[in-house]
A = this chain, B = another copy of it.
């Protein structure tokens, strides 16, 4: 068993022992759980974080007792997962823990939406990642590049995986990087653009790691980007559609998200830069023929971003206002209007050479 794993188990045990001691002392056992409401989310300048507010969850308390029991059930389940070396999903955990209490009609859990938040409670309370509790998250994302890793005893060369690339698993904690030969990481929102770049061997020519999140980045992809960026000091360039949804995907990779603010330090990559698409690119690269009229929701979302503390850089304010004013947006695929190799041969090389990034 590796040290990290032992640490997580001992955190779980410490929680248990603390409660036992409270019981012995005749106190009302309780767990301290940092508050995850938006009112307790703070932008540090580097990332989104949880503030100092903490709630107490008591055993002897009508409104807390059931949640208290559920928290301990989940904690004990995770300890078992760790000890047996098994990983599982939130849904499987729910089924495994769902049962009727003896001599009652009361279930431990009735629905998965009761057990999911308990996992986040434990993440915050114990200061560990869900993945370290052996609970898998959604999987999404693929990666290629001149990188050799070790995962579950296999040596995997990301440059030799054909057209498919390596499917990023939900848990990348135990991935060991054996060899990383890259000058930057290019993170692409959409799989189609990734496939185009991959086919043109963009990652080989430009010595980069090419990764697609396939939409909003899953936790595995976010953690992988962070680990590569931090452990190998690699710049990260994020490439999304020119619309508030794409820009938010970028900000989540960089700063973390509001709902997972407690783990931004382990999932966010504050050094990430935005390579495009911007509204300004539409002029610079003559994409006017391929823009789309923005919908009302797009404008509304852009106005929200305009107010977020982490979108206050003047460059972002300018882009957001430009988008609202012109009422347009553009997809990555708009670049194909200029030719299918325009993205590989002109757009990206130009942006990288001119260091034309947004903060």
Which A positions have Cβ atoms within 8 angstroms of B?
81, 86-89, 91-96, 98-100, 136, 139, 142, 149-156, 159-171, 175, 191-192, 195-196, 199, 289-290, 331, 333-337, 339-341
Besides A92-B192, A96-B336, A151-B163, 10 new A-B residue pairs in contact (Cβ under 8 A), listed by A number: A86-B340, A87-B196, A91-B331, A95-B335, A95-B337, A98-B289, A154-B161, A154-B162, A161-B166, A167-B167
The 10 closest A-B pairs by CB, nearest first: A151-B162, A89-B192, A167-B167, A92-B336, A164-B167, A163-B169, A154-B160, A95-B336, A154-B162, A95-B337
Residue on B nearest A159 in the bound complex, by CB: B154
Report B-chain residues with C-beta under 8 Å of the C-beta of A339.
96
A168 to B165, CA, bound (A): 9
A76 smallest CB distance to B (angstroms): 14
| B199 and A87 contact, CB distance less than 8 A | yes
A130 to B166, CA, bound (A): 24
Report B-chain residues with C-beta under 8 Å of the C-beta of A331.
91, 95
| A162 and B175 contact, CB distance less than 8 A | yes
Q: A162-B156, A164-B169, A167-B166 are in contact. Are A333 and B199 (CB under 8 A)?
A: no
6 A-B pairs whose Cβ atoms sit less than 8 Å apart in the complex: A88-B340, A91-B333, A93-B336, A151-B162, A161-B161, A164-B169
| A195 and B167 contact, CB distance less than 8 A | no
Report B-chain residues with C-beta under 8 Å of the C-beta of A149.
162
A66 to B289, CA, bound (A): 20
| A139 and B191 contact, CB distance less than 8 A | yes
Q: A96-B337, A160-B156 are in contact. Are A91 and B192 (CB under 8 A)?
A: yes
Report B-chain residues with C-beta under 8 Å of the C-beta of A92.
192, 196, 333, 336, 340
A228 to B237, CA, bound (A): 38
A199 to B171, CA, bound (A): 12
A95 to B335, CA, bound (A): 8
| A170 and B154 contact, CB distance less than 8 A | no
A333 to B97, CA, bound (A): 12
| B195 and A337 contact, CB distance less than 8 A | no
A96 to B335, CA, bound (A): 8
Report B-chain residues with C-beta under 8 Å of the C-beta of A100.
289
Which of A99, A155, A196 gathers the greatest number of chain B CB atoms within 10 Å?
A196
Report B-chain residues with C-beta under 8 Å of the C-beta of A152.
162-163
| A142 and B170 contact, CB distance less than 8 A | no
| B160 and A164 contact, CB distance less than 8 A | no
Report B-chain residues with C-beta under 8 Å of the C-beta of A81.
340
| B290 and A98 contact, CB distance less than 8 A | yes
